[in-house]
Structure 1
Amino acid sequence: MTLFLIAMAVVIVLILIEIPVAFAFGIGAVLFAYTTGNNISFLIPHGFKTASGFALLALPLFIFAGLLMAEGGISERLLNFVNAIVGRIKGGLGAVTVLTCALFGAISGSSSAAIAAVGQIMIPRMIREGYPAGHATALVACSSVLALLIPPSIPMIVFSITGGISVGAAFLSTIIPGIILTIVYCLLNIWFLRNDPNIEVAAPLPFKEAAKGVVKTGQSAAFALLMPLLILGAIYSGIATPTEAAAIAVMYAIPVGLFIYKGMTLRSLGSVTVRAVTMTGSIMAVLFFLFIMSRAMILEQVPRDLAQSLLQITENKYILLLMINLLLLLIGMIVDDISGSVLAAIIFLPIINELGIDPIHFAAVVGVNLGLGNVSPPCAPMLYMAGGVSKLSLDRYIKPTLKFLVFGHLPMVFLVTFVPELSLFLPKLLMGY
């Protein structure tokens, strides 16, 4: 246990001094294996075997689908459709941003892809219409983590594979929390801006004219709206596995982007492919070293020792859940959502099993906590990515971010943690879990 904590401390220090995450975990894995006497040449094949599993193939495919969606004009159609519904109320453009991030999560499963696709369009647009720049940046950053909760979520895929639980059930566990958080963010956005005199609001349209606008943009966005239905319908009807559904998403997004919406050319398709390969390569490098470290941890019985250490502090399930929540939040602050989901499965699932807590319930707890951590300073990878899009300094958007987190995301963490039925209702209803 001591050697593991030293290895993790080294990883954290390396990440904080901006060593690439993959290299930081690689050094930590080699250090831990060497100091515990494990043969690294024995651990490497395990890393390759786990990283090359069929189920994990969904990860690069969903990344590719998300980038195709952004490049092909699918995200823009979604924005226009949602804007036609709620865009003509004060704060409506912010609600459009939140809802579109949720819809984008239902296709790409990636927070960073949501910021890249939605943030680049909506942050400048909100600022032009009088929204405070810091508020616009914070809203996109906080809404982006809805992609962790609205399936198909890439971190949930990785968590399920690492923990050996049902991917479909883990997907379903976060849907209700994701929908509730989407509504909460929309309402908070409208409430925070209620007295701002600078926000431009388009004049309300007569009902018939507004309905025509919704129908027109809905027709334009039909192929975009069909995409999440196609993906999730294929998974939950049993027609396709999550990996096969990811392949369907790619095969669907390419012709839609090229020939229907015409937002993409063959040249840009090549560019998107290169970006997807690059992003996948960096993620797989991180996962490879995490899988090596996880194998060494299991051989050294670190998860069991950690479980016993926590149980020696208290056997009260609720206090232990609060402690685990805090640790998950710290993990989310330091590493990205995918790395955090692997660490959560490796370190905490044995403790959860010891406490008699349902692992599918815990999947939802991991999702909401990592989402909170990813936009919470000091590291906050999604928050800084949104700041990079708006080109603002941290002091401009940290206050509105904290308001969204304290009044929106943090209560959701406690709700999901202490009301298990919130995450278990759909798995029981649809899968007989």
Structure 2
Amino acid sequence: MTIFLLCMLLIVVLLLAEIPVAFSFGIGAILFTYATGNNISFLVTHGFNVASSFALLALPLFILGGLIMAEGGISARLLDFVNSFVGRIKGGLGAVTVLTCALFGAISGSSSAAIAAIGQIMIPRMVKEGYPEGHATALVACSSVLALLIPPSIPMIIFSITGGLSVGAAFLSTIIPGILLTLIYCALNFWFLRNDTLIKVDPPLPFAAAVRGIAKSGYNSLFALLMPVIILGAIYSGIATPTEAAAIAVIYAIPVSLMVYKGLTIKTLGTATVRAVIMTGSIMAVLFFLFIMSRAMILEQIPKQIAEALLTVFDNKFVILLVINLLLLLIGMIVDDISGAVLAAIIFLPIVEQLGIHPIHFAAIVGVNLGLGNVSPPCAPMLYMAGGVAKLPLHKYIGPTLKFLCLGHLPMVFIVTFVPDLALFLPRLLMGIE
């Protein structure tokens, strides 16, 4: 345990020193393996076997699909459709941003893809319409993590594979929390902007004209709106696995972007493919070393020792859940959502199972909590990415971000943690899990 804690401390120091995540975990995993006397050849073989699993093929496919949608105009059509409903209400563009991030998450499964696709369009548009820059940036950053909760979620795929759980059940566990958080962010957006006199709002249309506008934007967005229906329908009808559904998403997105919306060209398709390869390579390098580390930890019974230590110090299940949530938040602050999902499955899943907490309920806790960590300082990878898109210094958007997190996301963490039926209702209804 002492060796493990020293290696984890070294990893944290390397991460804070801005050493790439893959190298940080690689150094920690190799040192831990040699210090504990484990067979490095066996662990490397295990890492390759898990990293090359069929289920993980969904990762590059969803990344590629998200990038194609961003380049091909699909995300812009989703924005136009949502805007036809609430765009003429004060604060409506903010609600459009939140709802579109949720819809985009139902297609791409990636927070970073949501920021890249939605943030580049909506932040300048909101600022042009009189929204405070900090509010617009914070809203995009916080809404981007809805992609972790609205399936198909890449971190949920990784968590399920690492923990040996049903991917479909894990997807279902975060749908209700994701919808509730979407509504909360919309409500907070309207509340924060209620007295802002600088926001420009187009006058409302007569009812008949509004209906015609919605119908027209719905018709123009039809192929974009069909994507989440096709992907999720294929998964939950049993027609396709999540990996096969990811392939369907790519096959669908290419002709729609090339020939229907015509936002994609052969050149930009090549560029998106190269970017997807680079992103996948960096993520797979991280996962490879995490899988090595996880097997070494299991061989040394580290998760069991952590569970025994927590159960010795705390005798109340709810207190232990609060401690685990705090640790998950710290993990989410330091590493990306995919790395955090692996660490959560390795370290904490055995503990919560000993406490009698349903692993699918814990999947929802992990999804909501890691989303909070990814936009919480000091590291906050999604928060800084949104700031980079907006080209704003941190002090201009950190205040609005903390308001959204403290009044919206943090309460949702507690609700999901202590109301398990919120996460388990759909898996029990649709998949019959116990």
Which TM-score band applies after superposition, normalised by the shorter structure?
A: over 0.9
Cross-structure match for 2:176:
176
Cross-structure match for 1:272:
272
Cross-structure match for 1:42:
42
Residues of 2 paired with 1:264 and 1:61: CA distance? Answer: 17
Per-residue CA distance 1:374-394 (angstroms, 9 max, x = gap): 000000000000000001111
Cross-structure match for 1:60:
60
Cross-structure match for 2:198:
198
Cross-structure match for 2:284:
284
Residues of 2 paired with 1:203 and 1:142: CA distance? Answer: 29
Per-residue CA distance 1:239-266 (angstroms, 9 max, x = gap): 0000000000000000000011100011
Cross-structure match for 1:125:
125
Residues of 1 paired with 2:9 and 2:114: CA distance? Answer: 31
Residues of 2 paired with 1:54 and 1:23: CA distance? Answer: 25
Residues of 2 paired with 1:367 and 1:327: CA distance? Answer: 14
Cross-structure match for 1:110:
110
SS of the residue aligned with 1:290?
helix
**Alpha-carbon offset, residue 315 of structure 1:** 2.1
Cross-structure match for 1:324:
324
TM-score, length-normalised on structure 2?
0.99
Residues of 1 paired with 2:315 and 2:3: CA distance? Answer: 25
Residues of 2 paired with 1:67 and 1:332: CA distance? Answer: 24
SS of the residue aligned with 2:64?
helix
Residues of 2 paired with 1:269 and 1:12: CA distance? Answer: 37
Cross-structure match for 2:298:
298
Question: What does 1:18-417 align with in structure 2 at a 5 Å threshold?
Answer: 18-417=18-417
Residues of 2 paired with 1:6 and 1:394: CA distance? Answer: 32
**Alpha-carbon offset, residue 41 of structure 1:** 1.8
Cross-structure match for 1:431:
431
Which stretches of structure 1, 4 residues or more, deviate above 4 A after TM superposition? none
Per-residue CA distance 1:19-73 (angstroms, 9 max, x = gap): 0000000001001111111122221111000000001111111111101111110
Residues of 2 paired with 1:14 and 1:37: CA distance? Answer: 23
SS of the residue aligned with 2:378?
coil
Residue 394 of structure 1 aligns with an amino acid whose one-letter code is L
Per-residue CA distance 1:332-360 (angstroms, 9 max, x = gap): 00000000000000000110111010000
**Alpha-carbon offset, residue 178 of structure 1:** 0.1
Residue 243 of structure 1 aligns with an amino acid whose one-letter code is T
What RMSD over aligned residues (CA atoms) do the two structures have, in Å?
A: 0.5
Per-residue CA distance 1:132-166 (angstroms, 9 max, x = gap): 00000000000000000000000000000000000
Residues of 2 paired with 1:276 and 1:246: CA distance? Answer: 14
Residue 149 of structure 1 aligns with an amino acid whose one-letter code is L
Residues of 2 paired with 1:229 and 1:56: CA distance? Answer: 22
**Alpha-carbon offset, residue 174 of structure 1:** 0.1
Residues of 2 paired with 1:296 and 1:430: CA distance? Answer: 36
Residues of 2 paired with 1:145 and 1:79: CA distance? Answer: 17
Per-residue CA distance 1:99-133 (angstroms, 9 max, x = gap): 00000000000000000000000000000000000
Residues of 1 paired with 2:190 and 2:326: CA distance? Answer: 30
Residues of 2 paired with 1:350 and 1:423: CA distance? Answer: 19
Unaligned runs of 5+ in 1: none
SS of the residue aligned with 1:138?
helix
Residue 315 of structure 1 aligns with an amino acid whose one-letter code is D
Residues of 2 paired with 1:160 and 1:292: CA distance? Answer: 17
Per-residue CA distance 1:245-301 (angstroms, 9 max, x = gap): 000000000000001110001111111100000000000000000000001000100
Residues of 1 paired with 2:353 and 2:84: CA distance? Answer: 47
Residues of 2 paired with 1:345 and 1:68: CA distance? Answer: 30
SS of the residue aligned with 1:378?
coil
Residues of 2 paired with 1:421 and 1:2: CA distance? Answer: 38
**Alpha-carbon offset, residue 189 of structure 1:** 0.2
SS of the residue aligned with 2:218?
helix
Per-residue CA distance 1:5-25 (angstroms, 9 max, x = gap): 111111111111110000000
Residues of 2 paired with 1:156 and 1:2: CA distance? Answer: 30
SS of the residue aligned with 2:214?
helix
User: What is the number of residues matched between the two proteins?
Assistant: 433
**Alpha-carbon offset, residue 415 of structure 1:** 0.3
SS of the residue aligned with 2:130?
coil
Residues of 2 paired with 1:339 and 1:108: CA distance? Answer: 18
Residues of 2 paired with 1:217 and 1:395: CA distance? Answer: 37
Between the aligned residues of both structures, percent identity stands at 78
Unaligned runs of 5+ in 2: none
Residues of 1 paired with 2:427 and 2:17: CA distance? Answer: 42
Residues of 2 paired with 1:245 and 1:39: CA distance? Answer: 37
Residue 133 of structure 2 aligns with an amino acid whose one-letter code is A
Residues of 1 paired with 2:84 and 2:2: CA distance? Answer: 57
